A and B are shown apart, each in its own frame.
Chain A
Amino acid sequence: QKEVEQDPGPLSVPEGAIVSLNCTYSNSAFQYFMWYRQYSRKGPELLMYTYSSGNKEDGRFTAQVDKSSKYISLFIRDSQPSDSATYLCAMKNAGGTSYGKLTFGQGTILTVHP
């Protein structure tokens, strides 16, 4: 079983739609949860960063973490063509000797068409 499972898609939605992206994980030691966005031919850029369970909102983006279910989500409201990218979930342990090791999902390819 993979530590982090993410549906690779691809996901295609019309402009203005609400997009829901999800990851499940098996390692209960994960405490920090991130969403990265990666445009074609670019490196990943951090979009959202959440510690433990709860919600975090930033503009059109909302990240949710449910540690009891080992499930994280990213919602994009009023999606735009410029949101078309691969979205990667990532997570890491707190402290120890993990040296900030990020464990990534496979990434979901999102296309928002006009």
Chain B
Amino acid sequence: ETGVTQTPRHLVMGMTNKKSLKCEQHLGHNAMYWYKQSAKKPLELMFVYSLEERVENNSVPSRFSPECPNSSHLFLHLHTLQPEDSALYLCASSQGPTSTDTQYFGPGTRLTVL
């Protein structure tokens, strides 16, 4: 595997379900990100991790819970979601979290909340 991978690629869940999205980067990077991409809206940054420490939470509701057990893996735990949470969830990584570091994106998980 190369680059940034995400699983599952598609997920359908009910509002009472609990599920998790997984991201893995094979680039030796130290920073990882979760973004949300909704139809007709710009990508929205959700969380930033640097060296496994959360450094940014962009006012995301608590029904989204990130976890970064090591610098290669990032999870997004989902519970009691709403239909408006349906979107493409993108993971990205970069060498560091600074301005000059290029972010590389995974293919995304297409989430549908019923």
Contact = CB atoms under 8 A, between A and B. Distances in A.
Interface residues of B, number: 31
Interface of B: 4, 6, 31, 33, 40-43, 45, 48, 50, 55-56, 58, 90, 92, 94, 96-108, 110
A93 B99 contact: yes
Interface in A12-56: 31-32, 36, 41-46, 49
Contact of A43 (B40, B56, B90, B96): B90
A81 interface: no
Given A100-B31, A100-B98, A106 B40 contact: yes
B99 A94 contact: yes
A90 B55 CA distance: 20
A76 interface: no
